[in-house]
Each structure stands twice: as structure tokens, then as C-alpha cells.
Amino acid sequence: MAIFTGAALALLTPMNEDGSVNYQEMEKIVNDQIEAGTDAIVVCGTTGEASTMTHEEHIETIAACVQMVKGRIPVIAGTGSNSTDTAVYLSKEAQKKGADGLLLVSPYYNKATQNGLKRHFTEVAKNVDLPILLYNIQGRTGVNIKPQTIAELVKEVDNIVGVKEASGDLSQVATIMSLTDGEIDLYSGNDDQIVPIVALGGKGVISVLSHVAPKDTHDMVIKLIEGDVKASGELQIKYIPLIHALFSEVNPIPVKAAMNMMGYHVGTLRLPLTEMEEENKKVLRQAMLDVGITLA
């Protein structure tokens, strides 16, 4: 059984003025998302600025999220690293803290070979009992997890169950589905490709858009799974301008600006990320208004 079907929120990490994690605001976001129909929470992923967290903060944030969710929906912890030993450590700690699954980004900077990727993911998987989603995002990591590698890992390692596909390559997604005979939990990692990926057999999306449009992001997936292709497609098209605005600067810069515009207090970003440019912020604000999002 899939960890979730539908839309998972790729949760941002709210920050206080001093740069520490704002757990009070995180709990508000989590509760609002669950109430709006979000199907799972991914904590400490790319959107959560995990790459600038200490190991202690990383583990504390995962534990806090699990406690906030209280078992209402699955919590998937981002525990990937370019160091295999670190990924093993974070994954074991996330399991101890009660995470329901893990999201493992491919090692960044090292640019491992496909064989190196297989050994890395297998080593992490054998140290935990949780279901694992691979995270393929070459634009961040410098290396593509090839379809054959993904298929082999899913077939050979019991608790590697799927992949968050953010390559942007629909042909690659189709190839993955073909090589696995559809026996894989595949999620879109790009909000502008939710409908085509679910149409190819995907289980849903791990979404940034869900921060500002949780119900419609959930509905976009579920309506298609239930056979309402027209309604699902209309939602995808409706949100394309906003999705483009949410990625007009590197994630999570725009989504933090968007949440602050909505009246949340998610704070600033940790360097080297900086505040959104005013011109891009104006475009984002207008795109949110155009789809009926209420701003503070």
C-alpha cells in the first residue's frame, strides 16, 4: 500500500527573527493543511531548507512535526544527504521519532555513478524498516537517477517503494512506469506536471503549491484518479501562472513570500537564500489574487 495517495505538502520551515525554527507557526500550518484535505506532510525536504539545518535541528523538526500531526496523516521525513553515513544516521533517527516514511534525495555534489546510487540507497534502506521514496531532482543534485536504476531498486529492495520524480521529463516517467509494470509509488515533484504524471499511473504529488491551495491541489489528483479528467485538467491549467510565480526564484524563496502575504508568519530564509525580488513578488501577489487566494 502506498504511503499516501493525493497531495503531500512539501512543508516549508517557518523561522523566527533570529533564524531559529518557529514551531508554533509550523503547527498552525500543519493543522490548516490537514483541515483543508492535504494527504501527507513531507518535513525537512528541499522546501524545508534542510540543507542549512544542523543534524540536531533536523531531527528535532521531524520529531515536532510528528507530534503536531498526531497520526492524522502520514509524515514523510526528508533524510537524504551526500554522505551515506549521514543519510543512515538521519533515517534511523527519523524512524525513532515516529516518521511514517522517508524521502531520500540522491547524493548531491558527489555526482555518484548509477552503481554508487544503488549502493547508497540500499545501504540506507537496510538500516531502517520504513518505506522509502527516492527523490530524483537533477537540477539540485547534478545527477539523474536513471529509470533502470529506479526500477532495479524498487524491485530488489523491499522497503524502497517509489520515487518523487522532479526531472521534468515525462518520457522518463513513462519509462519508469514501463520498467516497473506500474508496480511503483511514483509522485510528481513538479506542480506543473501533476495531471500528466498521475495520468501515467502516478499516485499524486509532493507539492509546494499545496501551501497556498491545499484543497485544489488535493482535488487535482483525486478527481483524475476518480475519472474526472476534465475537472482535474482545468485545475492544473488554472494554477499554471501561480505555479510559475512560485518557482520564479529558487524554492522556497517565493513560497515563503506567498505565505507571509497570506498572513502566516513564516519569517525569512537562511543564507545563502535571500528575500524575493520586489518585481517578482508583485507578479506572485497578482497570480495569487487571480485564483482567488485571500491575502492579508
- Give the chain's residues under pLDDT 70: none
The fraction of the chain above a pLDDT of 70, given in percent, is 100
With respect to residue 66, please indicate whether it lies within any of the assigned structural domains.
Answer: yes
- Per residue in 25-73, pLDDT (tens digit) is 999 999 999 999 999 999 999 999 999 999 999 999 999 999 999 999 9
With respect to residue 154, please indicate whether it lies within any of the assigned structural domains.
Answer: yes
pLDDT at 289 (0 to 100): 98
With respect to residue 288, please indicate whether it lies within any of the assigned structural domains.
Answer: no
CATH code: domain of residue 167: 3.20.20.70
Active site residues: 135, 164
Residue span of the structural domain in which 130 resides? 6-228
With respect to residue 252, please indicate whether it lies within any of the assigned structural domains.
Answer: no
With respect to residue 207, please indicate whether it lies within any of the assigned structural domains.
Answer: yes
- Per residue in 190-221, pLDDT (tens digit) is 999 999 999 999 999 999 999 999 999 999 99
With respect to residue 120, please indicate whether it lies within any of the assigned structural domains.
Answer: yes
Whole-number Å distance between alpha carbons of 35 and 278: 32
Kindly give the residue spans of alpha helices, DSSP state H, lying in the chain. 23-36, 55-69, 84-96, 114-126, 138-141, 147-156, 170-179, 194-199, 214-225, 229-246, 253-261, 278-290
Whole-number Å distance between alpha carbons of 135 and 143: 11
What is the pTM assigned to this prediction? 0.97
Nearest CA among 3, 40, 42, 11 for reference residue 162:
3
> Is residue 90 within 8 Å of residue 57, measured between CB atoms?
no
Exposure of 174 by Cβ count < 10 A (0-12 exposed, 13-18 middle, 19+ buried)?
Answer: middle
Whole-number Å distance between alpha carbons of 30 and 62: 13
pLDDT at 1 (0 to 100): 81
Domain count, the chain: 1
pLDDT at 185 (0 to 100): 98
With respect to residue 247, please indicate whether it lies within any of the assigned structural domains.
Answer: no
Q: Any idea what the Cα angle at residue 6 is, between residues 117 and 241, rounded to 5°?
A: 90
Main-chain phi, psi angles of 78, to 5 degrees: -75, 115
